[in-house]
């Protein structure tokens, strides 16, 4: 067996990383929440095994953590109240009967959580057994690779980074275990020099393999992706019709939303732009209960270089003018544009059809054919809104009634509980902007899950939004954006549904103009979002889809630099100045303020950790490992640090400190000073070891400085040369 030392610590750390790869996809692909709790359980399990805690204490700690987690997940009672424990034990008894009856779907969530903890417990034990007893882990490593690659192929989980992490951890563990097997079989002495000779080539080999694998060019797939053929049901891609699995991308028919879709990474267009932005194609305003249609309107034609009368930004809104260059890869007849579009620029003469109802722009037919250029340039304005202006709208008094009716339209059979939910979400908010923000934030709750596969289709008697809000709570952008529009409309706030593309993936900076960035937009970037109308600000984008963020700029400070309070109504009446409070009350207010500030800080930290727990744990492991490595090799870098530190010092008083530094360095090197050994005897021992007289000379100078308070001839400058020579010998 391998001893519990620094090497075994590395084995446990790499084993933990391999097992963590099994947990990472679960939160994304299933309804399982609180994954960070299961990761902490793994850390506790590996830590108690590493420190060789007695099995009874390991058992008690793990059982306590499991029961504490189940209480936190599923029960409202406190952990030390016995009522919940009695209920849970009864639930376990009921679930055992369910298992014997083979009714697997009837298992309770509490029992499923317990089984999951037990599974992780068993996995940790197996890894411990494979690594420290059998010294073989290839099977588990291979199964991890198969697991993440299958998920990458057949689900929405992307395993690009997971493959790299698994290869690094797996090769490191197998290399270390191979080394320990050789030590055992060949009866080789386990010296540090032998270990370094083995581990250095292993680390270099892994690092080079990973870097070459990442940097090397990749060939295109030889065979087509099998997933669309296995899961699709023959529906036309992007049509939005039918109830089978569709392929993602822009489509014209949104009358029946819902159902899963498969990814499509074909490039639609590339753009050179100053900053990432959303790209619009059209808007729709009529919600049917199952999807979206657009109001009928007559199209009109304009010249390709004329001003585009869509998405105009009011003059009172601060904005800047930007230009984007679009290179099309798919031959669509519609044009793509950002919010705030001004005009297009084409190399040849084109005519454009404008559909005002849908705000959709298409190329006009020329000689019976739709002619689309391969590239064009777009001028547009980027607005910078002020919250102080947005919160001014509290009612629709300033808006035309026909406009309000159009953009607050809802089907008569819309379930009443949708409007009740909207009222509950926006309770206490007095203006449109704050209400819209509250609804936008509502979907970031853990209740709602972004998913492209396990997405329901409403039945004939079901409403699309009602099903998502109250029943499934699982969906993609269409579910989130449509639900926000409908919730806003129940409050009388005009809103519309927008289709287009997100900003895409950054590729590189433009060679011709380094200030511009090149983004690649594929069918996977097809997206829908929300626009809300404010009488004095125009249409403003909102992004309710979980995991997505738009590029809208809003200044939440007033002209005086004071944060804008969303619920501020008319300015308050000035309050007469009060007399100064007693010192005791002032101290109490300061204490309360500090306590409140600390509470807000702790809440902010808790929120950050809960949202980025994976990165926090990984960063902590990296920092801890780096610190441990730096400490382990301190004998190599500390001499250079001290040489640099004392090289710039010229005062003779440094001799005493420098001599003690040398003694510590010699001890780290392995030349320990014996108990009751005088400095002169120790100096002769060092000189004998290094075949020199420098330590004796330096010691004599140090004793003269220490006992006689006299500076030796030549001072610290000459003594420093002796000191540096001895330090360099310990480095060699």
Phi then psi dihedrals of residue 32, to 5 deg: -65, 130
With contact defined as beta carbons under 8 Å apart, do 330 and 266 qualify?
A: yes
Which one is predicted more confidently, 518 or 571? 518
Mean pLDDT for the chain?
80
The CATH fold assigned to 249-567 is C8orf32 fold (3.10.620)
With contact defined as beta carbons under 8 Å apart, do 382 and 341 qualify?
A: no
With contact defined as beta carbons under 8 Å apart, do 531 and 552 qualify?
A: no
- pLDDT number for residue 368: 42
- pLDDT number for residue 574: 39
How many C-beta atoms lie closer than 10 Å to residue 709's C-beta?
A: 7
Residues 6+ apart with CB under 8 A from 419: 490, 491
With contact defined as beta carbons under 8 Å apart, do 723 and 646 qualify?
A: yes
Which of 138, 208, 140 shows the shortest CA–CA distance to 174? 138
- Work out the pLDDT band at 478, boundaries 50, 70, 90: very high
Phi-psi region of 714 (alpha: psi -120 to 50; beta: other; left: phi over 0): left
- pLDDT number for residue 366: 56
Average pLDDT over residues 215-221: 69
b/e code 531-562 from CB counts within 10 Å (16+ = b): bbbbbebbbbbbbbbbebebebeeeeeeeeee
CA distance 511 to 569: 51
- pLDDT number for residue 186: 67
Phi-psi region of 289 (alpha: psi -120 to 50; beta: other; left: phi over 0): left
With contact defined as beta carbons under 8 Å apart, do 302 and 349 qualify?
A: no
Task: Tell me the chain's radius of gyration from C-alpha atoms.
Answer: 34
**Residue indicated by tokens 């585009």:** 308
Average pLDDT over residues 20-44: 83
Q: pLDDT at residue 219 above 70?
A: no
Tokens of 628: 């441990």
Q: pLDDT at residue 241 above 50?
A: no
> What do you get for the CA distance between the two ends of the chain, in Å?
34
CA distance 282 to 528: 10
Q: pLDDT at residue 600 above 90?
A: no
- Give the burial class of 676: count Cβ atoms within 10 A of its Cβ; 0-12 exposed, 13-18 middle, 19 or more buried: exposed
Residues 6+ apart with CB under 8 A from 276: 503, 504, 506, 517, 519, 551
Residue count of the chain, please give it.
732
* Cα atoms in the 13 Å half-sphere on the side-chain side of 30: 11
* Model pTM score: 0.49
Residues 6+ apart with CB under 8 A from 93: none
Which one is predicted more confidently, 684 or 649? 684
* Least confidently predicted of 98-107, 215-224, 690-699, 700-709: 215-224
Average pLDDT over residues 89-110: 83
For residue range 675-707, list pLDDT tens digits in order: 778 888 888 888 888 888 888 888 888 877 777
Which of 420, 440, 435 shows the shortest CA–CA distance to 567? 435
User: Is 135 strand, coil or helix?
Assistant: coil
- Give the burial class of 521: count Cβ atoms within 10 A of its Cβ; 0-12 exposed, 13-18 middle, 19 or more buried: buried
- Work out the pLDDT band at 111, boundaries 50, 70, 90: confident
Average pLDDT over residues 231-245: 43
* Least confidently predicted of 22-26, 297-301, 501-505, 557-561: 557-561
CA distance 297 to 315: 27
- Work out the pLDDT band at 95, boundaries 50, 70, 90: confident
CA distance 423 to 403: 23
Phi-psi region of 367 (alpha: psi -120 to 50; beta: other; left: phi over 0): left
- pLDDT number for residue 492: 93
Beta strand extents in 85-157 (DSSP E only): none
Average pLDDT over residues 257-276: 87
Which one is predicted more confidently, 543 or 298? 543
Q: pLDDT at residue 185 above 90?
A: no
- Work out the pLDDT band at 199, boundaries 50, 70, 90: confident
- pLDDT number for residue 416: 94
Phi then psi dihedrals of residue 378, to 5 deg: -130, 130
Which of 580, 546, 424 shows the shortest CA–CA distance to 475? 546
CA distance 623 to 604: 22
- What letter would DSSP give residue 692? -
Element (H, E) at 344: strand 341-345
- Work out the pLDDT band at 229, boundaries 50, 70, 90: very low
Phi then psi dihedrals of residue 439, to 5 deg: -70, -40
Q: pLDDT at residue 174 above 60?
A: yes
- What letter would DSSP give residue 524? G
CA distance 431 to 413: 27
Q: Which residues pair with 50 in a beta bridge?
A: none
Q: pLDDT at residue 545 above 60?
A: yes
Domain spans of the chain, in order of start: 6-215, 249-567, 633-731
**Residue percentage of the chain with pLDDT more than 70:** 82
With contact defined as beta carbons under 8 Å apart, do 641 and 665 qualify?
A: no
- pLDDT number for residue 677: 82
For residue range 417-473, list pLDDT tens digits in order: 999 999 999 998 989 999 999 999 999 876 898 988 888 888 888 999 999 999 889
Tokens of 544: 């309710």
Average pLDDT over residues 59-88: 85
Which one is predicted more confidently, 210 or 603? 210
* Cα atoms in the 13 Å half-sphere on the side-chain side of 692: 13
Average pLDDT over residues 707-722: 69
With contact defined as beta carbons under 8 Å apart, do 117 and 415 qualify?
A: no
- Work out the pLDDT band at 575, boundaries 50, 70, 90: very low
CA distance 682 to 693: 12
- Work out the pLDDT band at 270, boundaries 50, 70, 90: very high
């Amino acid at each position: 067996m391998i001893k519990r030392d620094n090497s075994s610590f590395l084995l446990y750390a790499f084993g933990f990383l391999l097992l963590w790869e099994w947990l990472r996809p679960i939160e994304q692909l299933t309804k399982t929440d609180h994954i960070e709790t299961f990761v902490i359980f793994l850390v506790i399990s590996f830590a108690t095994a590493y420190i060789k805690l007695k099995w009874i204490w390991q058992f008690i700690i793990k059982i306590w953590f499991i029961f504490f987690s189940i209480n936190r997940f599923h029960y409202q009672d406190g952990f030390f109240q016995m009522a919940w424990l009695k209920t849970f034990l009864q639930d376990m008894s009921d679930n055992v009967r369910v298992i014997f009856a083979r009714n697997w779907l009837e298992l309770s969530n509490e029992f499923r959580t317990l089984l999951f903890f037990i599974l992780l417990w068993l996995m940790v034990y197996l890894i411990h057994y494979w690594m420290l007893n059998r010294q073989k882990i290839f099977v588990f490593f291979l199964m991890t690779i198969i697991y993440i690659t299958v998920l990458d192929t057949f689900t929405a989980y992307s395993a690009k980074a997971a493959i790299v992490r698994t290869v690094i951890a797996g090769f490191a563990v197998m290399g270390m275990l191979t080394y320990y097997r050789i030590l055992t079989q060949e009866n080789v002495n386990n010296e540090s020099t032998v270990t370094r000779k083995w581990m250095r080539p292993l680390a270099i080999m892994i690092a080079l393999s990973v870097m070459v694998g990442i940097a090397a060019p990749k060939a295109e797939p030889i065979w087509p992706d099998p997933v669309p053929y296995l899961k699709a049901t023959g529906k036309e891609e992007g049509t939005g019709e039918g109830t089978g699995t569709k392929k993602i991308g822009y489509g014209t028919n949104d009358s029946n939303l819902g159902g899963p879709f498969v990814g499509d990474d074909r490039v639609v267009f590339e753009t050179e732009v100053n900053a990432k932005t959303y790209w619009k194609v059209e808007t729709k305003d009529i919600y049917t209960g199952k999807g979206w249609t657009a109001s009928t309107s007559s199209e009109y034609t304009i010249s390709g270089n004329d001003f585009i009368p869509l998405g105009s930004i009011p003059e009172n809104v601060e904005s800047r003018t930007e230009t984007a260059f679009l290179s099309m890869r798919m031959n669509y007849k519609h044009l793509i544009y950002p919010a705030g579009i001004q005009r297009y620029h084409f190399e040849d003469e084109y005519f454009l059809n404008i559909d005002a109802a849908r705000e959709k722009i298409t190329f006009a037919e020329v000689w019976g054919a739709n002619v689309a250029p391969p590239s064009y340039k777009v001028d547009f304005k980027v607005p910078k809104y002020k919250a102080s202006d947005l919160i001014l709208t509290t009612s629709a008094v300033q808006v035309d009634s026909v406009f309000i009716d159009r953009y607050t339209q809802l089907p008569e059979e819309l379930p009443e509980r949708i409007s009740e939910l909207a009222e509950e979400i926006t309770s206490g908010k007095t203006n449109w902007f704050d209400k819209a923000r509250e609804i936008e934030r509502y979907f970031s709750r853990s209740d709602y899950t972004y998913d492209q596969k396990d997405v329901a289709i409403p039945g004939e008697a079901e409403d699309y939004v009602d099903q998502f809000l109250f029943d499934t709570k699982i969906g993609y952008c269409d579910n989130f954006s449509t639900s926000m529009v409908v919730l806003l409309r129940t409050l009388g706030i005009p809103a519309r549904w927008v289709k287009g593309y997100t900003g895409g993936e950054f590729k590189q900076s433009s060679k011709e103009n380094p200030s511009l960035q090149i983004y690649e937009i594929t069918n996977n970037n097809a997206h829908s979002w929300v626009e809300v109308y404010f009488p004095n600000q125009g249409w403003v984008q909102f992004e309710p889809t979980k995991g997505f963020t738009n590029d809208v700029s809003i200044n939440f400070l007033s002209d005086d630099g004071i944060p804008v309070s969303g619920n501020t109504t008319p300015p308050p009446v000035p309050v007469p100045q009060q007399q100064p409070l007693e010192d005791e009350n002032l101290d109490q207010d300061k204490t309360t303020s500090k306590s409140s500030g600390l509470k807000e800080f702790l809440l902010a930290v808790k929120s950050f950790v809960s949202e980025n727990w994976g990165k926090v744990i990984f960063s902590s492991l990296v920092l801890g490992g780096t610190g441990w490595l730096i400490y382990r090799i301190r004998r190599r870098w500390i001499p250079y640090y001290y040489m640099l530190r004392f090289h710039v010092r010229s005062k003779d008083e440094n001799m005493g400190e420098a001599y003690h530094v040398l003694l510590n360095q010699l001890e780290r090197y392995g030349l320990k000073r014996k108990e009751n050994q005088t400095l002169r005897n120790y100096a002769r021992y060092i000189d004998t070891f290094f075949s020199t007289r420098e330590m004796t000379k330096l010691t004599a100078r140090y004793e003269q400085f220490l006992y006689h308070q006299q500076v030796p001839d030549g001072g610290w400058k000459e003594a420093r040369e002796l000191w540096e020579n001895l330090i360099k010998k310990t480095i060699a």
